Amino acid sequence: MRIANLSAEVSPFAKTGGLGDVVSSLPKALAATGHDVDVWVPFFLEAADWFRRRGTWPVQELDPFDVSVMGAPHRVSILGANLPGTSVPVHFVAHDPLFHRPGGLYAKNEHGVDDGIWRFSLFVRAALEAMKRTGDRPQVLHTHDWHPGLAPMLGAWSSWRDPWFDDVASVLTIHNVGYQGIYGPDRLPVLGLPPETWTGGLVEHSGALNMLKGAIVAADMVTTVSPTYAWEIRTAEGGAGLDGVLRLKAARLTGILNGIDREVWNPESDPHLAAGYSMDDLRGKHACREELCALSGFEPADPAMIVGSVGRLAPQKGYDILFEAAPELVRRGIRLVVLGSGEPALEGSMRLLEAHFPGYFKGFVGYDDALSHKIQAGCDALVVPSRYEPCGLTQLYALAYGTVPVVRRTGGLADSIIGLHGENLDWATGFHFDDASPHALAAGVLHAQSVFFHRDAWSRLVRNGMRADFSWGRSANDYELVYRRAREVRGLPW
C-alpha cells in the first residue's frame, strides 16, 4: 500500500517527544513489510542543524513553487533525504521565514504570537501541492496530531472537498489529546476553508477554531497510541473537551500501542553507552551505572537504588509530584536522576533539589538524547509519574535496558507494564501506583526498593522486562488493518 505520513516531527531530524519517535519507527516497520511509505515534515531549523552538523544537506526534489495562504503567495522548496540507515524517504517542506526559528519547533513568532495555524497550513498545502505535481498520490494519508489537521479536512466528505482526495483515505493518529491547535474564529481564512466548515461544526468547537476537532470529524479512521487511552479520551475526565466528538467517532476509533525502534534503543549496540550488554550478560550494565554515577556526582560503590526519569517538564508528566516526593525518597536512601526541560518552575525545583541533596538528587536541565540513553542504561529503576499518558515510550525503553519501571497506572503505562502484586513474579515487569500524589508515588518507589534488595526477585523482574517484545512488528500489522478499513469506509478498494 502507498502511505504518506504528515507530521510536525520526525526523529532524528526534529523531535520534542514521542511523536517524532513514532513517525520515524512506524514508517520503517511498515516499509519492512513491503509497504511504500514516506514522511512529510516542515524543514525546521533543528532539521537544518542536523544536516549541518554532519556536513550534508538534503537534495532538492522539485523546483521551488508558490503556495497561497490568505491570497498571498509563499515560495517553498521541497528537499528530500532518507530516514538514516533506511530507504524510507523524508520530504522536507522548506520555507525559512516560518520554519527557521530559534526557540524550538513550536516557538512563537518574533512578536510573541502563536502562528502555528499559519505555519502548518502552509506546510500541508505545500506537501499536497508537491504530491500533485509529482503525480504521487498515496492511497492513505496518515496525519499525526493537530498540526497537519488541514489535510483530512480538505478531503472531508463534503461538496467543496478537493477532488484529488476522491481516491485517498485519511487516518488521524492522536498522540496527545491535550494539544488541539485552538485559535480564534478570525483565523478561519488562514485555512482557506469555506464558511460552512465553521457553521457546520467541522472546525468550530466551543466558539473557537479547533484543528484537532476538525481532523477527528474529517478523518476516515482515528487511532490513538494505546487501547486504554482510546477509552480514556472518550470520558469527560480524559477527553480534554473532545470526549463528545470522540464518542461520536467511537466506531472508527481504535488504540494501537506504540512500539520501539530496536535499532536505536538496543543496549547491545547503543553507541551512547559506556559498555554494551544483553539479557544473557548484564555486566555492561554495571559499567553504565558507574558512568551515570560519575556524571551525577553519586558514589559508585554505594549499593543504594538509583531511580531515573526522562521527560518533558509539562503538567501532564507529573514531575511536580515526583519533586514533592523526592525529599522522602532521598531520606529513605534512594538516589534520583532526572533529565528534562520545559516549565521554568519545574526546572527551578530540579536545581533546588540538587542543591539540597548533593550526591542523592541530580537534575539535568535540557534536552540531551545521548544522556537519555545513559540514564536508561545506568539506572536500576525508572519512574514515570504522568497524570495522563497516551502511550509513553520511556517505560518501554527502560524495559529493553533492564531498568525496572515504576509507573502511574494510566493510559499506555497501564497497557505496557505488568505491575508486581506479590504472586506474579514470573511475568511482572514493574510496579504500579494509582493516585497522582507524592504519597502514592513514594509508596510505589519504596515497594520497588523493598524488592531491589532481594537480588533474585529483582533480576527476575529485569529479565521479564528485557524479554517483553515491544518491537513494531505487531503494531505495524494493526496499522495496516486500519488503513484498509479507512479505504473501505471511503468506499475505495485496497
Min CB(148)–ligand ADP separation in Å: 17
* Residue closer to ligand ADP (CB basis): 246 or 313: 313
Q: How far is the CB of 345 from ligand ADP (least distance, A)?
A: 16
Query: CB within 8 A of 201, min separation 6: which ones?
Result: 217
Question: Which residues is 143 bridged to in the sheet?
Answer: 6, 172
| Beta-sheet strand order (sheet of 204-205) | 182-183, 208-210, 204-205
272 Cβ contact list (under 8 Å, min separation 6): 369, 370, 373, 374
Stretch near ligand ADP under the rule CB under 6 A, chosen from 41-49, 50-58, 157-165, 337-345: 337-345
Residue window 154-183: x/- pattern of binding to ligand ADP, with contact defined by CB under 6 A: ----------------------x-------
Binding mask 301-320 toward ligand ADP (x if CB under 6 A, else -) reads: ---------xxx--------
Contacting residue, 4, 9, 13, 18, with ligand ADP by CB under 6 A: 18
The bridge status of strand 169-174 relative to strand 89-94 is unpaired
117 binds ligand ADP (CB under 6 A): no
Interaction between residue 341 and ligand ADP (CB under 6 A): yes
Is residue 262 a contact residue for ligand ADP (CB under 6 A)? no
Give the interface segment with ligand ADP, choosing from 115-123, 143-151, 386-394, 418-426 (CB under 6 A).
386-394
- Selected range binding ligand ADP among 182-190, 333-341, 445-453, 457-465, rule: CB under 6 A: 333-341
Residue 144 β-bridge partners: 173
Closer Cβ to ligand ADP, 135 or 271, answer by number: 271
Site for ligand ADP in 68-107 (CB under 6 A): none
We find the least distance from the C-beta atom of residue 337 to ligand ADP, in angstroms, to be 12
Quick one: which of 136, 166, 369, 434 contacts ligand ADP (CB under 6 A)?
A: 369
Q: Rounded distance, CA 79 to CA 59, Å? A: 5
Q: Pick from 143, 296, 372, 403 the residue near ligand ADP by CB under 6 A.
A: 372
Residue 368 interacting with ligand ADP (CB under 6 A) = yes
Sketch the per residue contact string, 21 through 40, with ligand ADP: x for CB under 6 A, - otherwise.
Answer: x-------------------
For residue 135, what is its C-alpha cell? 503525480
Q: Please state the φ and ψ torsions of residue 6, each to the nearest 5 degrees.
A: -120, 125
Interface segment toward ligand ADP; rule CB under 6 A; list 85-93, 104-112, 363-371, 468-476: 363-371
| End-to-end CA, the chain | 8
Interface residue with ligand ADP, options 255, 308, 392, 419 (CB under 6 A): 392
Instruction: Evaluate whether 148 touches 8 at the Cβ level (below 8 Å).
Output: yes
CA distance 438 to 326: 8
By beta-carbon proximity to ligand ADP, the closer residue of 16 and 109 is 16
For ligand ADP, give the closer residue by CB, 49 or 369: 369
**By CB under 6 A, how many residues form the interface with ligand ADP?**
19
Span interacting with ligand ADP, options 139-147, 231-239, 361-369, 421-429, rule CB under 6 A = 361-369
Q: Which residue's CB is nearer to ligand ADP, number 77 or number 228?
A: 228
Q: How far apart are CA 275 and CA 297, in angstroms?
A: 20
Report in angstroms how near the CB of residue 301 gets to ligand ADP at its nearest: 28
CB 257, min distance to ligand ADP, A? 11
Min CB(382)–ligand ADP separation in Å: 10
Give the integer Cα–Cα distance in Å for 242 and 215. Answer: 12
Does the CA dihedral 376-378-381-386 come out positive or negative? Answer: negative
Q: Does 393 bind ligand ADP (CB under 6 A)?
A: yes
Q: Which of 340, 363, 405, 465 is the binder for ligand ADP (CB under 6 A)?
A: 340
The verdict on 193 binding ligand ADP (CB under 6 A) reads: no
Of positions 77, 197, 394, 429, contacts ligand ADP by CB under 6 A: 394
Which residue has 532539521 as its cell numbers?
A: 47
Residues that bind ligand ADP (CB under 6 A): 17-19, 21, 176, 310-312, 339-341, 367-369, 372, 391-394
